[in-house]
Amino acid sequence: MTREEEIISHQISELEGNMEETIIQFKKQIGTLSKELSELSISVNAGRRRLLTAQGDELVAEVIYAFREFGYVVQNVDEILAPESPRREDLRLTDPDLGDWEAIVEVRGYTRSAGKTADLSRLARFANLYYAEKNNIPNKRIYVVNGQTELLPSQRQEPFESSNEDIDVFGEQDGIVISTIDLFRVAKHLDKIGVEEIKRTIRETEGRWTPM
């Protein structure tokens, strides 16, 4: 090889060595991030993602966490009423900024159904029991539903998609229907939307909640 060829050949060898070292470093970083992602996924599956997957007490617990993130004071009604009391709503929300504003909340999860009209009727009965207890009607009736959990969120129907008249009637009673998919989405973008805007939409919406 000529001197000029040796110089270029040496430069190529150096670059190949640098490339291999860079690949090794990138693989190490990818391995570290993959481990972090796996650990985070385990944590989220036991937390926020329960809004999309859980039913029963696990779903109620995650809904409580979401509403507290939105700035509400949340009471689990089972913990404040006597055991012999008739069945009541799952939660009560108060807004520290609005004095005596209070909402009653029923939380339901279904494998196949997107929401049941009977649940809305149940909230009407709970509102009557609330009135008997406090001599006042709740400011809001909130129905939170995690429906069709056997499907991916992108495949699920909106709650009461095929019976909008039920939504309309419920809205006339200061009712609001919230899909846990929307709760998940709003909580994900909480820093962009802001808690005051979220609470305003919950306070003013009648019927289906569409915050975004």
pTM reported for the whole predicted model: 0.81
State both tokens at 79.
């913990």
CB 185 within 8 A of CB 212: yes
pLDDT of 45: 58
One-letter amino acid of 99: G
Classify the C-alpha dihedral 27-30-34-35 as positive or negative: positive
How far apart CA 117 and CA 25 sit, in angstroms, is 57
109 CB neighbour count, 10 Å cutoff: 23
Q: pLDDT tens digits, residue range 119-171?
A: 999 999 999 999 999 999 999 999 999 999 999 999 999 999 888 899 999 99
At 36, the pLDDT band (50, 70, 90 cuts) reads: confident
pLDDT of 43: 62
Selected residue with higher pLDDT from 93 and 7? 93
pLDDT of 46: 60
pLDDT of 1: 76
Owner of token pair 């003013």: 204
Question: β-pairing, 140-146 with 175-179?
Answer: parallel
CB 105 within 8 A of CB 89: yes
Q: pLDDT tens digits, residue range 163-200?
A: 889 999 999 999 999 999 999 999 889 888 999 999 99
How far apart CA 178 and CA 175 sit, in angstroms, is 10
Classify the C-alpha dihedral 144-140-202-158 as positive or negative: positive
